[in-house]
């Protein structure tokens, strides 16, 4: 199913390397989000963007970077500064029209493993 | 600061039994509360939100501001209800959601 897609599904990285996770949506949503999901930790917000060319740090932004050059795309870079990057990463998007707390739609996720 | 507490990591019930997944929150303003669900091998998706006051798949949740709770209930659990359930809190002008750590519900036959 389309809507919001993430690639790759699995990603392996050597220590010291930066990697970029892709997130694309064709829902015409203004807001996009990156979460990290760890067992027993729930979802923790890394970065979010309400509009193009603007983004804010979430609760665990250290070691991560993002860009929002296009409405459809919100890539996440996991840098070598992230001390424990092995995790499942979820991207989400939300419409800002009408109700302010519209549903967030989630992608299928990318599992990142650092070797 | 916003905080969501789901006290049970795991919850196991038998088919046909009532189920209640607990959620407590901490927020000084006017909260928006949600339940999201993640079935095996599926995406995380919205189950219900408190302002809708609706029942989805037999589940209901009532916001109790006095007890700062938003417990999810279903009178008769089904095996297909087995999933990970997350309570989420929204508040403030930035429209961020704060998620709890989740409760894994298993409904046994």
Write the pLDDT tens digit of every residue in A67-114. Answer: 999 999 999 999 988 889 999 999 999 987 666 567 889 999 999 999
How high is the pLDDT of residue A2?
Answer: 62
Contact A44 B99 (CB under 8 A): yes
List the single residue in B with minimal CA-CA distance to A51: B94
Write the pLDDT tens digit of every residue in B67-104. Answer: 999 999 999 999 999 999 999 998 766 778 899 999 99
Residues of chain A with C-beta less than 8 angstroms from the C-beta of B102: 42
Cis peptide before A8 (omega within 30 of 0): yes
Work out the widest C-alpha separation in chain A, in whole angstroms: 45
CB of B3 within 8 Å of any CB in chain A?
A: no
Strands A64-66, B3-5: pairing kind: unpaired
Contact A50 B99 (CB under 8 A): no
Q: What is the CA radius of gyration of chain B?
A: 13
Length of chain A: 115
Arithmetic mean of pLDDT over chain A: 91
**CA dist., res. A103 & res. A92, Å (int):** 10
Residues of chain B with C-beta less than 8 angstroms from the C-beta of A27: none
Residue A72 CB contacts under 8 Å (≥ 6 apart), including other chains: A24, A25, A26
- Interface residue of A101, A102, A108, A111 to substitute, partner B, most B CBs within 10 Å: A101
Torsion A23-A26-A27-A30 (CA) sign: positive
Nearest to A101 among B86, B90, B102 (CB): B90
Residue A114 bridge partners (DSSP) = A13
Residue A39 pLDDT level (bands cut at 50, 70, 90): confident
Nearest to B44 among A31, A90, A96 (CB): A90
A34 CA to chain B: closest CA distance, Å? 11
Of residues A100 and B56, more confidence is placed in B56
Strands B3-5, A110-114: pairing kind: unpaired
**CA dist., res. B72 & res. A43, Å (int):** 19
Contact A42 B100 (CB under 8 A): yes
**CA dist., res. B92 & res. B32, Å (int):** 10
Residue A3 CB contacts under 8 Å (≥ 6 apart), including other chains: A25, A26, A27, A105
Residue A35 CB contacts under 8 Å (≥ 6 apart), including other chains: A43, A44, A45, A46, A89, A90, A91, A92, B99
CB of B71 within 8 Å of any CB in chain A?
A: no
Contact B90 A94 (CB under 8 A): no
How high is the pLDDT of residue A100?
Answer: 56
Burial of A47 (0-12, 13-18, 19+ CB in 10 A): buried
φ and ψ at residue B81, rounded to 5 degrees:
-80, -10
Contact A40 B51 (CB under 8 A): no
The number of C-alpha atoms within 13 Å of B39 and in the hemisphere containing its C-beta is 9
């Amino acid at each position: 199913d389309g809507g919001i897609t993430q690639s790759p599904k699995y990603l392996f990285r050597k220590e010291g390397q930066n990697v970029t996770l892709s997130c694309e949506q064709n829902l015409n949503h203004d807001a996009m989000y990156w979460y990290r999901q760890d067992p027993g930790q729930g979802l923790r917000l890394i970065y979010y963007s309400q509009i193009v060319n603007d983004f804010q740090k979430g609760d665990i932004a250290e070691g991560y970077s993002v860009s929002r050059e296009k409405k459809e795309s919100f890539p996440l870079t996991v840098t070598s500064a992230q001390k424990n990057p092995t995790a499942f990463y979820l991207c989400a998007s939300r419409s800002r029209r009408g109700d302010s707390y519209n549903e967030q739609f989630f992608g299928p996720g990318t599992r990142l493993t650092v070797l | 600061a916003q905080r969501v507490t789901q006290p049970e990591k795991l919850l196991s019930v038998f088919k046909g039994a009532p189920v209640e997944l607990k959620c407590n929150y901490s927020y000084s303003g006017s909260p928006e509360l949600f339940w999201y669900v993640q079935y095996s091998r599926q995406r995380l998706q919205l189950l219900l939100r408190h302002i809708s006051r609706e029942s989805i798949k037999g589940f209901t949740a009532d916001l109790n501001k006095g007890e700062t709770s938003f417990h999810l209930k279903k009178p008769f659990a089904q095996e297909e209800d087995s999933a990970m359930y997350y309570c989420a809190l929204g508040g403030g002008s930035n429209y961020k959601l704060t998620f709890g750590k989740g409760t894994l519900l298993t409904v046994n036959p």
